[in-house]
Amino acid sequence: MTVFALWQKPAAPLPFKVRPVRGETTLSFVFRLAAANEIIRPTTLIRSIGWFYR
């Protein structure tokens, strides 16, 4: 079994698509999307869309 680091895995579509709620911030939407897709670290999605918070 080969173990890949998170950044070495190929990109794949998310199994569950969640639409943003009106007035929702980008950050809360990404966290909700990560929860729906059982992603442990929501920052992975933030990095993949190219939006960084500091």
* Residue 7, pLDDT above cutoff 80: no
The tens digit of pLDDT for each residue in 15-49 reads 777 888 899 988 888 888 888 888 888 887 887 77
b/e map 22-53, b = 16+ CB within 10 Å: eeeeeeeebbebbeeeeeeebeebbeeeeeee
Which DSSP state fits 27? Answer: H
Domain residue ranges of the chain, discontinuous segments joined by + = 20-54
CB 33, CB 45: distance < 8 Å: yes
Q: At 6, is the pLDDT very low, low, confident or very high (cuts 50, 70, 90)?
A: low
Q: Residue 14 has which token pair?
A: 């998310």
- pTM here is 0.63
